[in-house]
A = this chain, B = another copy of it.
Amino acid sequence: MSEILVVGSVAYDTISTPSGRVENTLGGSANYFALAASLYTQINVVGVVGQDYKKEDLDLFKKRPVCLEGLQQVPGKTFHWEGRYEGDLNEAITLETQLNVFEKFDPTLPKNYRQSHFVFLANIDPILQLKVLDQVDSPKFVASDTMNFWIQSAKENLRKVLSRVDLLLINEKEAQQLTGNRNTIQAAREIVAMGPRGVVIKRGEYGFVLYAEEQFFILPAYPVSSVVDPTGAGDTFAGGFFGYLAKIDSAWNLQHLKQACIHGCIMASFTVEGFGVAALRHLDWPMVEKRIADYYQVIAYR
């Protein structure tokens, strides 16, 4: 079993969906990731919060194998994102982004983080992703995520990140934007040509595409009858994906990457059933195992 280092946003979100609205609810890619991945192994979080960050939100991780030593608390307000989902729950409309304490964030890794073998660079400024990567001694497996904003505004640094990661985890729309190719199958090949050994394209309710070693592995999502809020689904996908790999301590193995995708998919299916991190708060291992078994029934063709 290996530890996972994650750098990403820690946030308060205001979210509207057809199911309702929540204000200033706990969010951020690092939180979603850590809540999912800590079901599998030890997580070391790198991030920044403001003075408004609530003690109860720090305490959420007390009973979990999550280290918050790398989570700086500094003067100012915590990162805030406001978004809305309309009929098409696959896509968020960003209404407001307040970077706040993230604006001057300079990640410094606690000494004990530097030996983390698994590193996930969640969706933040590529320059910060690179700064974190520079401080890790000898990672066995590194993956990153990104979003439309960085694809448009930080293409050069994003390319540097891509040349240094084993795998990119990315949304389908953003994979198409990054490559300028509307065909997801071609886009996957083009992303691998940019540097990483593999790519996982997340398709929301349609599942995922893994492309690595010139092979495609494609499966649908777990069928969720009640999608309340898709926020964080991609980050919990990454959490389940990394959690699985780190737990079995597998760096690069196509068979393990496939299983990791299924774990990611299942984790994401829980996230969307509640607002923010609500569904992840009480998630336990038997629930995950049960759903994986159900998932295998759904895709069983023989």
Say if the beta carbon of A262 comes within 8 Å of chain B. yes
Say if the beta carbon of A149 comes within 8 Å of chain B. no
Q: Given A297-B215, A299-B299, is A206 in contact with B220 using a C-beta cutoff of 8 Å?
A: yes
Question: Which residue of B is nearest A208, CB measured?
Answer: B220
Chain A 141-155 interface 0/1 with B at a Cβ cutoff of 8 Å (1 = within):
000000000000000
- Considering only residues 212-226 of chain A, those with a C-beta below 8 Å from chain B are 215-220, 223-226
B301 touches A223 (CB 8 A): no
* Chain B residues near A184 (CB-CB < 8 A): 205
* Chain B residues near A226 (CB-CB < 8 A): 183
Say if the beta carbon of A196 comes within 8 Å of chain B. no
A259 touches B225 (CB 8 A): no
* Chain B residues near A205 (CB-CB < 8 A): 184
In the assembled complex, the CB of A179 is this many whole angstroms from the nearest CB of chain B, namely: 13
- Considering only residues 270-291 of chain A, those with a C-beta below 8 Å from chain B are none
* Chain B residues near A209 (CB-CB < 8 A): 223
Say if the beta carbon of A227 comes within 8 Å of chain B. yes
Q: How far is the CA of A87 from the CA of B181 in the complex (A)?
A: 10
Question: Which residue of B is nearest A176, CB measured?
Answer: B87
Number of interface residues of A (CB under 8 A): 34
A225 touches B258 (CB 8 A): no
Say if the beta carbon of A203 comes within 8 Å of chain B. yes
Question: Which residue of B is nearest A203, CB measured?
Answer: B206
B298 touches A87 (CB 8 A): no
Task: Please give 15 more A-B residue pairs, beta carbons under 8 A apart, in addition to A183-B225, A215-B297, A299-B301.
Answer: A18-B182, A87-B182, A89-B182, A183-B224, A183-B226, A185-B225, A203-B206, A206-B220, A207-B220, A209-B223, A216-B298, A217-B298, A217-B299, A217-B301, A258-B301
Enumerate the 4 nearest inter-chain pairs by beta-carbon distance, A residue then B residue, closest first. A206-B206, A218-B220, A185-B223, A185-B225
- What are 20 A-B residue pairs whose CB atoms fall within 8 Å in the complex? A18-B182, A89-B182, A183-B225, A183-B226, A185-B225, A206-B207, A206-B220, A215-B297, A215-B298, A217-B299, A218-B298, A218-B299, A219-B220, A219-B299, A220-B220, A255-B302, A259-B301, A262-B301, A299-B299, A299-B301
